[in-house]
Structure 1
């Protein structure tokens, strides 16, 4: 069975209990609300122990130990209060083909919706076997983001409506794959990504018939870092890495190119290329045109993965990086032109990537400054609170929320690089790691 939804209930009281469900349905994979459609088919048919519908042509099967009453109807003008507060489409019509009901004198009720012919027991047993390989709640939660795409696998950027995005997929790949002990499965994800590359990784990974979007400077570089363990053993991955590095050195979309100082320049008006990519209409909230600090950390790490052919470029870039970005107490967020906003991106020059660009006292100063000005219990702030552009609340309509997205909002994904940097500058001893675990986790 592909996608499936299972509900089980158990009644432990002495009195009888009645229950009903399955009164409405919607497509939860879209950000757009739907209105009543005449083409939707409510007709149901029985096949063996299954009740089958084909509302939009694709068949849905239900198996239940309850009673079904066929009573098609539309729930019109259903309002989503949270979406209304966010300034989004918030009114929808919901279709219901009928109602399942149970009298729980036998103590339990089951409903299985999906595709295929598996029974409750078969599905439960298969899910039990799957979970044996996921020993902790965190493992099980992480596994929910790994999904099939065609013949391979990919990583979903977020639920409920994000699909797979290049940057998010490759950032998560090392944690969901290597750190979780799934190297074999994740090799398939890297190979699947490699087949999509032509010297530049897309930020939006398209479904069949759609065009990819390449508004990212760092997705390709995150791919190289994530693919490093497979370069020697998988020729396709190694070739993709070399193609990316060659493309960036030569120059590619949106002004992405290696400059004479060995650093990576990027950007053009109206295009957001880094992970701080909020855009409302024509307003790019944090354009960061020039040479963003974390892009340099990724670029120089990618050159290290590239091997001997890139050794001279790597050495030149490392020399330039410290000279260009160090401002006396921490790192600039962007150079050429210089941007002095104090942001968390600099932490990737010390932690979160295999090759740290700074060590010693300067690295310690960076970590201490980030801890003092940006650290929260839930992540690193995207902008220092003492900046005039700081927005301390993520709320309001689309423009207000996107305007706050990278202007103060705290991001949990940056905690990993921060903690690794914190441990590195203290010597990476067992005692330091234990202290970090107690303090931050």
Structure 2
């Protein structure tokens, strides 16, 4: 596999902590269990979630602060902190010569004159474990490497202050155990035990206190290394040596790329996709995004094809679909419920779509036989009138009777009535159910009759005089800024109508694509599609306060490039060049990955989470499908 070190930054980027340079570009490494390590390429922590070990929803080791003692005896700190006062001290980033993402693993190189030191790290897949190596690349003689362990133990997104209890620290051979939760292991451990107070994280606007548990120290000459392991879980079992962990993760990256058959920047997307796939006690699952997003069913099913089918991880995907369907039909309550408040109301429709895509692309008739009946039961249960989504028997379309208010809902804008994307998904799901039932020789008369009515109603009711589709039909007039009467059909130009052409059994397939062209002219940007045309009432690129509503009032969603590409292909419009800006964006914010949203206005500054499962998955799917 070609090396992925094309993602490289020199000193003008990684040597600056500004948001436009090294302070605004972030890296991410994961352990395959939901834990991770993350930070900026400059080394400055800008979020409370930035740490070298985050496990079980807790931030553990925040940083390993490296100080070099030169042959002259001068000590040079190579780490960087920002304080509540606004001071940045020390400024170790000014010594950074280069940052590289090599096979998905971050590597820093510092230069102090003729002394060059390099750091590389990896997480051991399937274990809450970090391996870090410091290598003396060149020096006129032995130098001292002191690595201070800055620790905490708190839930993600919170702060821990010195005014509270001190961290419990238990010495062990070659290191220490912190809070009984994680262990540090390396050469020349020297205990410390005091707080660094008021460390500032600018992206959160928060202050935190870090516990200096102690330092590792070793003299090293050119070619020699200082290796540190940090792990949670079974603390009495020492993980493999650091070089073995890094080599294993590099080899795993090679296998993933080979399995996917990806080329060019598709290799980086395959490795980015792997960050979101985790293993739980119930089997494979998907983290919607980093930092701070959970395991959301809607995002998982939107991302399914790109994460599993376009990466060659078919068996894992099959296992996921079975477990998700089983859980959804069982409808458990509480934190384990599969359709949490974070999930959109259309998540079951996306599940049907994911199962259909799996069966269609793999020919897995056994999966169709296993899931067709449970999926039908799930749809009937979800549309029985007891919830906010119900079936209108008059036209066979779905009506939303209460506005979605959860963070994961597709559009967090007034949607009371019959939204276009939910009904496009509904028509697609009915057709998919007919295919799944037909695959197993079961009777499909009921869904086929529903499909006929719903498709005819969709084609008759959703086309708007403006030349595109209504965003919502039969919504209450008082909900909308325009119109009057018993109900209102909303002609706002939004991208959700793309699903009416992009889905495999889309209701507008074969119909003229003028609406797709209109969407492209008004909504397409280099990083995805705006959620509302700039000419529309209420457009907001991204206001400085309370930005969440703007995520659906004009902000760009990257994952929508997938439906747009499919809609273009379905209507005979070109798809060449659609991913050019997104390929370049792999170097701009979440290094080697893609975020979920950006501002609607140029230059489309990234907002929201910088590592998004459905964005990565949809761009990878489009690249693989259309050979971009």
Q: Which residue of 2 aligns with 1:6?
A: 131
TM-score (norm 2): 0.60
**Are 1:112 and 2:229 counterparts?**
yes
Moved more, 253-262 or 134-143: 253-262
Pick from 515, 523, 529: which aligns with 1:366?
Answer: 515
Q: Which residue of 1 aligns with 2:377?
A: 243
Pick from 396, 402, 408: which aligns with 1:268?
Answer: 402
Q: Which residue of 1 aligns with 2:149?
A: 23
Shift of 1:412: 0.7
Q: Which residues of 2 match residues 135-214 of structure 1 at below 5 A?
A: 135=257, 136-198=267-329, 206=335, 212-213=340-341
**Are 1:414 and 2:560 counterparts?**
yes
Moved more, 265-274 or 246-255: 265-274
Aligned residues: 411
The 8 Å contact of residues 157 and 169 in structure 1, kept in 2 or not, is answered as: yes
**Are 1:339 and 2:490 counterparts?**
yes
The 8 Å contact of residues 130 and 230 in structure 2, kept in 1 or not, is answered as: yes
Shift of 1:67: 2.1
Shift of 1:296: 0.8
Q: Which residue of 1 aligns with 2:525?
A: 376
Q: Which residues of 2 match residues 39-438 of structure 1 at below 5 A?
A: 40-46=167-173, 51-55=175-179, 57-58=180-181, 60-64=182-186, 66-84=187-205, 90-107=206-223, 108-115=225-232, 116=237, 117-135=239-257, 136-198=267-329, 206=335, 212-213=340-341, 216-228=344-356, 229-230=358-359, 232-234=365-367, 236-268=370-402, 271-272=405-406, 275-276=409-410, 278=412, 286-307=413-434, 308=444, 309-328=446-465, 329-337=467-475, 338-351=489-502, 353-360=503-510, 362=512, 364-392=513-541, 394-397=542-545, 399=546, 401-426=547-572
Moved more, 249-258 or 165-174: 249-258
Q: Which residue of 2 aligns with 1:33?
A: 159
The 8 Å contact of residues 130 and 231 in structure 2, kept in 1 or not, is answered as: yes
Shift of 1:154: 0.6
Shift of 1:402: 1.3
Shift of 1:129: 3.5
The 8 Å contact of residues 333 and 339 in structure 1, kept in 2 or not, is answered as: yes
CA distance in 1, matches of 2:414, 2:406: 6
CA distance in 2, matches of 1:323, 1:27: 58
The 8 Å contact of residues 379 and 412 in structure 1, kept in 2 or not, is answered as: yes
The 8 Å contact of residues 215 and 271 in structure 1, kept in 2 or not, is answered as: no
What CA RMSD, in Å, does the superposition of the two structures yield over aligned residues?
Answer: 2.9
CA distance in 2, matches of 1:225, 1:415: 18
Shift of 1:12: 2.1
CA distance in 2, matches of 1:410, 1:437: 14
TM-score (norm 1): 0.84
Shift of 1:439: 9.5
The 8 Å contact of residues 28 and 160 in structure 1, kept in 2 or not, is answered as: no
Shift of 1:420: 1.4
CA distance in 1, matches of 2:406, 2:339: 18
Shift of 1:348: 1.0
CA distance in 1, matches of 2:216, 2:414: 52
CA distance in 2, matches of 1:233, 1:73: 60
Shift of 1:356: 2.2
For residue 272 of structure 2, give the secondary structure of its aligned residue in structure 1: helix
CA distance in 2, matches of 1:377, 1:28: 38
More strand by share: 2
Q: CA distance change for structure 1 residues 381 and 99 in 2, over 3 Å: closer, same or farther? A: same
Unaligned runs of 5+ in 2: 1-123, 258-266, 435-443, 476-488, 583-627
CA distance in 2, matches of 1:177, 1:109: 38
For residue 460 of structure 2, give the secondary structure of its aligned residue in structure 1: helix
Write the deviation string for residues 365-416 of structure 1: whole angstroms up to 9, x where unpaired: 0111011000000000011000120012x2523x2x1131111111110001
Shift of 1:109: 2.5
Q: CA distance change for structure 1 residues 271 and 257 in 2, over 3 Å: closer, same or farther? A: farther
Write the deviation string for residues 191-224 of structure 1: whole angstroms up to 9, x where unpaired: 221232137799xx9359x994376311111111
Unaligned runs of 5+ in 1: 85-89, 279-285
The 8 Å contact of residues 132 and 242 in structure 2, kept in 1 or not, is answered as: no
CA distance in 1, matches of 2:405, 2:578: 38
